[in-house]
Amino acid sequence: MYELKGKRALITGGASGIGRAIGLAFARAGASAILADIDESGLVTAVDEISRAGGRGLYAHCDVTRASDCRSAVDLAITSFGGLEILVNSAGIIRRASVVDTTEDEWDRVMAVNVKSIFLLSKHAVPVMARSGGGAIINISSGWGLRGGLNAASYCASKGAVVTLTKAMALDHAAQNIRVNCICPGDTDTPMLRQEAAQLGEPLDGFLQEAARRPLGRIGTPEDIANAALYLASHAASFVTGSILVVDGGGLAG
């Protein structure tokens, strides 16, 4: 049902965590995948995993806040795969602080990585998808894009922007047969989640235990989010656009 045979995908944040899991899931489903990130060693490892799983993977060293890097990543999909049908905007960072304790540089960096990157990648990817007859864009937001969180002002603002940007893009590009959807994960076991504990000065074990306090009684795995992305990228979601898919173990349910 979720086959992606013959599809060509570009995934940012592909060196670790959710982006890496999505790249592997897409490759196993038959897609060719380019993973984009600034962590070149992580990219090499991730692409090797894709190859060992029988998929076709490449990587692009890409600072998603730079227009030239984003254009180059899309160009790599064209030169290597002949086109592009799927874009996953998974790159993200977090700064755990209130507006008072967030510096202007920190604010700008969070907004650039979490929001501007989607603009830059989509700006270059949409025309390529349109020439291929359509495609799917999947933006990774957060549960904190739908409600506020303590000491995470810049992150909440950025992820809220991702939710609304997704809806605007879905309207703008429906006529080109490009579906645009958003996933809002809850706490997921990634390097970024562990960095949050360090930023807050909290013991990691206690931080993770608190994060698991949700109806399903655990934090998410990158594979949980990858499965949702696989659905949204596939033909099974052919009538789904402008949607916000919450994958959080019930954290926002009540």
Query: First CA to last CA across the chain, in angstroms?
Result: 32
**What digits encode the pLDDT tens for the residues 197-241?**
999 999 999 999 999 999 999 999 999 999 999 999 999 999 999
Instruction: Name 128's Cβ contacts closer than 8 Å, sequence gap at least 6.
Output: 74, 77, 78, 83, 84
**What digits encode the pLDDT tens for the residues 43-72?**
999 999 999 989 999 999 999 999 999 999
**Prediction pTM value:** 0.97
155 assigned to active site: yes
CATH number for the domain running over 8-244: 3.40.50.720
Distance separating alpha carbons of residues 82 and 8, to the nearest angstrom = 9
Enumerate the domain spans of the chain. 8-244
pLDDT of residue 173: 98
